[in-house]
Amino acid sequence: MRLRVLGICGGNGVILHAFKDQLITNVEPRSVFHTPNSIQWKLNFKTQFEKDLAIRFPKNSIDCIIGAPDCGHSSILAYSRAKKLSDPKENISLTFFIGSIGYYKPKIFMMENLPKMAEMVNLELSFPNYDLKVFNEPVSAWGNSQFSRVRLVVIGIRKDLLASLSLIDLPDLTDYHYKNVNELFEGLGKMNGSHCHVREPDDYSIPLYIDGKRKITVKEAREIWRTRFKDYGRWEVEDEKMKNQPGVYRIFGDGYPLTVRKQNRQFGPDGNMLTPREIARIQGIPDSFKLWYDPDRSLYCINKARVTVAKTPPYEVGVWFKGICDKLEKYL
């Protein structure tokens, strides 16, 4: 019998896509992932997309739980703003994920987060009925080209089962070819709404600091990257507290991509902001994974699409875990 899979805080399903034929549903309490009538979810999945934390299925109906609860409490970017890390116990999606493991007691689970979480949350106490395998690696360990993106991946196997943690390991990437930016973007071509390969208009204002200004237009930013910052990968600012504006950078065609984020302040080799589909390519997400775009709600859709593809583990992590589950299924 194939494993019955439940998504808990699985975003809009990038991490769940490899399991779509086994997926019961995804319970996602974070409003940022929800679109009208769950249209983004329905483009790729036939199951329901739930938001209600009170939803409960029979305890014996769940074999596997997968999710990437919110990691804001351990975000370095958030720390740079607030100068302190928040209490993970106040993180609704994280406590919901841990509580769901305790309630359903699945045979196996996977959780992805930021590495700092392991220092702030006692994993053994949080998942007392599970043997844990913990990976703290750049996502390049799974075959993604973001060498700078380091993530925590936790796999738990229920202690009463015969499956062994020794059967779980990172993929063998001997002689593996990592794609640079040019290779990742190959074939994208002109702007295309059907693939959500779109960006904000030239007159759209974005929060970039330059010459005393706190906001400039997309067009102005592009011209600065092409002239004043033509050899730069970071957005320099004249400030005693910081040399570069956090979370703002440009990637170069012959180099590897940096860590993508859901904000609209990462730029491509040509000085333009990255489109949702470009971010999806960096995240290893195939073009067959559809992104909702309505030209009448362009800015809203672009924002939601960036969240869908950036606020998630790279696609390769979900595919890898699917292979792990297939290998362990006879022991579970």
Which domain CATH number covers 111? 3.40.50.150
**103 and 40 in a common domain:** yes
Can you give the pLDDT at residue 86? 53
Q: What is the pLDDT of residue 87?
A: 61
**Shortest CA distance to 97 belongs to which of 65, 129, 132?**
65
The answer on pLDDT for 313 being more than 80 is: yes
Average pLDDT (303-313) is 97
Q: What pLDDT digit, counting tens, does each position of 148-165 carry?
A: 999 999 999 999 999 999
Same domain, 245 and 282: yes
Domain check: are 281 and 210 in the same one? yes
Residues 78 and 121 in one domain: yes
- Domain interval for residue 195: 181-310
User: For the chain, what is the domain count?
Assistant: 2
**What is the structure's pLDDT at 76?**
42
Query: Tell me, what's the pLDDT at 241?
Result: 76
Q: Let me know whether 66 and 192 are in one domain.
A: no
Residue 282 shares a structural domain with residue 322: no
Half-sphere exposure in the Cβ direction for 19 (13 Å, CA): 32
- Let me know whether 74 and 223 are in one domain: no
pLDDT digits (tens, 9 = 90+) for 33-91: 999 999 999 999 999 999 988 888 998 899 999 999 986 544 443 444 444 445 666 68
pLDDT score of 209 = 93
How far from chain centre, in Å, is Cα 136?
A: 16
Question: Is residue 293 located within the same domain as residue 193?
Answer: yes
Query: Are 154 and 295 in the same domain?
Result: no
Contact criterion met (CB below 8 Å) for 132 and 156: yes
Q: Give yes or no: residues 151 and 298 share one domain.
A: no
* Amino acid 91: pLDDT: 83
Which pLDDT score, from 0 to 100, does residue 89 have? 64
86 and 190 both lie in a single domain: no
Per DSSP, the three-state class of 22 is coil
Examine the domain organization and report whether 95 and 66 are in the same domain: yes
For residue 240, what pLDDT is reported?
64
Average pLDDT across the chain, whole number: 93
Q: The pTM is what? A: 0.94
pLDDT at residue number 75: 45
> What are the Cα distances from residue 271, in Å, to 183, 223, 265?
18, 7, 11
Residue 330 pLDDT greater than 50, yes or no: yes
